[in-house]
Amino acid sequence: MELSNKMKKLPKQFFASLVQKVGAAVAEGRDVINLGQGNPDQPTPPHIVKALQQSAENPLSHKYSLFRGLPEFKQAAADFYKREYNVDLDPETEVAILFGTKVGLVELPMAMLNPGDLMLLPDPGYPDYLSGIALAEVQFETMPLKPENGFLPDYDALPDEVKERAKLLYINYPNNPTGAVADSAFFEKTVAFAKEHNIAISHDFAYAAIGFDGERPPSFLQAEGAKEVGIEMYTLSKTYNMAGWRVGFAVGNADMIEAINLIQDHLFCSLFPAVQHAAIAALTESQECVDELVALYEGRRNALVEECHRIGWNVEAPKGSFFAWLSVPEGYSSEQFADLLLEKADIAVAPGNGFGEYGEGYVRAGLLVDKERLREGVRRIEKLKLF
Ligand SMILES: Cc1ncc(COP(=O)(O)O)c(C=O)c1O
For ligand 1, whether the C-beta of 172 sits within 6 Å is: yes
For ligand 1, whether the C-beta of 15 sits within 6 Å is: no
Nearest CA among 283, 317, 288, 286 for reference residue 301: 317
Rg (alpha carbons) of the chain, rounded to whole number = 21
For ligand 1, whether the C-beta of 131 sits within 6 Å is: no
Q: Tell me the helices (H) and strands (E) count for the chain, helix number first.
A: 15, 12
Q: Contact at 8 Å (CB) between 35 and 348?
A: yes
For ligand 1, whether the C-beta of 177 sits within 6 Å is: no
CA geometry: angle at 245 spanning 226 and 251, to 5°?
10
For ligand 1, whether the C-beta of 173 sits within 6 Å is: no
Quote the pLDDT of residue 207.
Answer: 98
Ligand 1 centre from 382 Cα, in Å?
32
For ligand 1, whether the C-beta of 176 sits within 6 Å is: yes
For ligand 1, whether the C-beta of 101 sits within 6 Å is: yes
Query: Left, alpha or beta for 272 (phi > 0: left; psi -120 to 50: alpha)?
Result: beta
For ligand 1, whether the C-beta of 204 sits within 6 Å is: yes
The CA distances from residue 176 to 106, 122, 125, 165, 304, in Å, are 16, 10, 7, 26, 18
Q: Contact at 8 Å (CB) between 221 and 87?
A: yes
Q: Contact at 8 Å (CB) between 105 and 128?
A: yes
Quote the pLDDT of residue 378.
Answer: 98
Q: Return the ligand 1 atom nearest residue 39 CA.
A: 14
Nearest CA among 93, 7, 61 for reference residue 275: 61
Residue 5 burial (10 A CB sphere; 0-12, 13-18, 19+): exposed
Quote the pLDDT of residue 65.
Answer: 92
Residue nearest to atom 12 of ligand 1 (CA): 206
Ligand 1 centre from 219 Cα, in Å?
16
The DSSP element (H or E) to which 118 belongs, if any, is strand 118-123
pLDDT along the chain (387 residues), means of 10: 93 86 94 95 98 98 95 98 98 98 98 98 97 97 98 98 98 98 98 98 98 97 98 98 98 98 96 98 98 98 98 97 97 97 97 97 98 98 96
Quote the pLDDT of residue 16.
Answer: 86
For ligand 1, whether the C-beta of 243 sits within 6 Å is: yes
Tally of CB atoms within 10 A around 163: 18
Ligand 1 centre from 101 Cα, in Å?
6
Model's pTM, two decimal places? 0.97
Coil, helix or strand for 225? coil
Quote the pLDDT of residue 14.
Answer: 79
Quote the pLDDT of residue 306.
Answer: 98
Quote the pLDDT of residue 15.
Answer: 83
Ligand 1 centre from 58 Cα, in Å?
30
